[in-house]
Amino acid sequence: MRAPVAWTVRGAAGVLTGAALGHTLWNGVAEPGAALAFATLITVGELARRDRRDPLGRHPAPLGSAGALAYALLGQNAGQPTHHGVLQTVAVVVAAVLAGIVPHIARGRGPALDHLSRRVLTVAFAAACFQPLYNSGRLEQWVGQGPYLVGYLLSLLGLTALCDAVLAAALAGARTGRPYGPLLHDELRAQLGVGSAICATGVVMALGAAVAGLWAVTVFSGPLLLTQLSFHRITAIRTTYRQTITSLARATEIAGCTRPGHSRRVAALSCAVGRELGLSERELTVLEYAALMHDIGQLSLVDPVPDGATAGLPDGEARRIAELGGEVARQTGVPAEVAVVVERQADPYREQPTAARIVRTVNAYDDLVGGSRHPGGSLAALERLRLGTGHDYQPEVVECLARVLARGGRGRVVPVPPG
């Protein structure tokens, strides 16, 4: 069911793009000055886009998105009515986006097809809800040109943002296999950030151009461009922060306390299990950091644990190491939630937060398949975890881990027996 959803979205965007380009080429461009101005703005926004998805807002090209929405909602230019319509709006946006992403494609970092499909459909939705009503005069009869028009535009952009979030969640679910509900929650939450700024800037641009002309587009795009540059800097800081935590986690491997790659394997597999359980984006970030640092308490031990495998230790010793790890994590300045997960990873699962349950289970799995105590490999390790679901491991987490491994997730692929 997931693949047809993705192909339906892409197919609808492709058909709409073809119809828009064909219509515009056949009938010519209405108000070419306005079309060129907004196309230039969108192109500049695409040229300034991030090569990778922005984890803070999911809008790699906010300036281009705001320009596209403003053109979709443009009813007048310096007091003169416009007549570009829905199909020309889509055609101009598509042409401008394609012109702006050429350098990114040349570097092998162009946007995904899903992102372009979303852009086409959301702009078409906004234009279809505004252009026919405005050009026919019915919108002016209903709401006039005052504050009610502004309210209508804001409401319309709210629906457009909802449409974009629904499409993004559907496409992400088709791509990753994650549950739809948490994905939609993440997308809606992202819309409250830079998405709100995009919608507000789109309305201001359209209203400003209606009164003052096209020069207003340049004036009102400045603040969003500065916001985009700020988000780029914050993203770079977060990337550096994650690299620092990853390097710190490797200290246990360099010191010989754990097996090479253990922390990275546990982090990758923990995140896969967290997605299977439907954790939000923020919860997955906390989970990843805690999984990377889960063994850091071993640096405080006088006598290292053999092979760094804490799964077979007595409960008291495992908790002591976890508490030491929590103290070390706090001193590194990580978020408090990360230190709590590290500290409580050895508690009985009924007393643990969800992230700690996942880290404990995945850590035990990697210890068991990497050690010599279970020559049966992955299947024997999973059975050992199932035997411990009465006290040590949450049954739902163990079964999610089994499903991830059966699908070929990070770790060893194993056959999962029924039940």
What pLDDT, in 10s, does the model give residues 122-159? Answer: 999 999 999 999 988 888 888 877 788 888 988 998 89
67: pLDDT strictly greater than 70: yes
Which pLDDT score, from 0 to 100, does residue 377 have? 65
46: pLDDT strictly greater than 80: yes
Which pLDDT score, from 0 to 100, does residue 59 have? 54
Which pLDDT score, from 0 to 100, does residue 417 have? 36
Which pLDDT score, from 0 to 100, does residue 374 have? 45
Which pLDDT score, from 0 to 100, does residue 412 have? 41
What pLDDT, in 10s, does the model give residues 350-387? Answer: 889 999 999 999 999 988 887 544 445 678 888 889 98
Tokens of 191: 């819309």
Which pLDDT score, from 0 to 100, does residue 308 have? 60
Which pLDDT score, from 0 to 100, does residue 409 have? 52
Of 22-31, 233-242, 289-298, which gets the smallest average pLDDT? Answer: 233-242
8 Å CB contact between 187 and 286: no
Tokens of 200: 């507000």
**Structural element, H or E, at residue 216:** helix 215-249
Of 17-21, 232-236, 364-368, 389-393, which gets the smallest average pLDDT? Answer: 232-236
Which tops the pLDDT comparison, 156 or 227? 156
Which pLDDT score, from 0 to 100, does residue 331 have? 83
Of 65-79, 154-168, 361-375, which gets the smallest average pLDDT? Answer: 361-375
Calpha distance 370→373 (Å, rounded): 9
Sequential DSSP letters for 299-357: GG-SSPPGGG--TTS-HHHHHHHHHHHHHHHHHTT--HHHHHHHHTTTS-GGGS-HHHH
Which pLDDT score, from 0 to 100, does residue 33 have? 93
22: pLDDT strictly greater than 80: yes
Which tops the pLDDT comparison, 137 or 89? 89
Which pLDDT score, from 0 to 100, does residue 55 have? 41
Tokens of 413: 């692929």
Calpha distance 30→344 (Å, rounded): 64
Alpha helices in 61-112 (DSSP H): 62-72, 85-106
58: pLDDT strictly greater than 80: no
Which tops the pLDDT comparison, 317 or 365? 365
Q: What's the whole-number average pLDDT of the chain?
A: 83
What pLDDT, in 10s, does the model give residues 170-224? Answer: 888 888 777 788 788 878 877 876 778 788 888 889 989 988 888 888 887 777 7
Mean pLDDT of 385-393: 87
What pLDDT, in 10s, does the model give residues 324-335? Answer: 888 888 888 788
Q: Map residue 76 onto helix, strand or coil.
A: strand
Calpha distance 335→305 (Å, rounded): 27
pTM of the model: 0.72
120: pLDDT strictly greater than 90: yes
Mean pLDDT of 1-24: 88
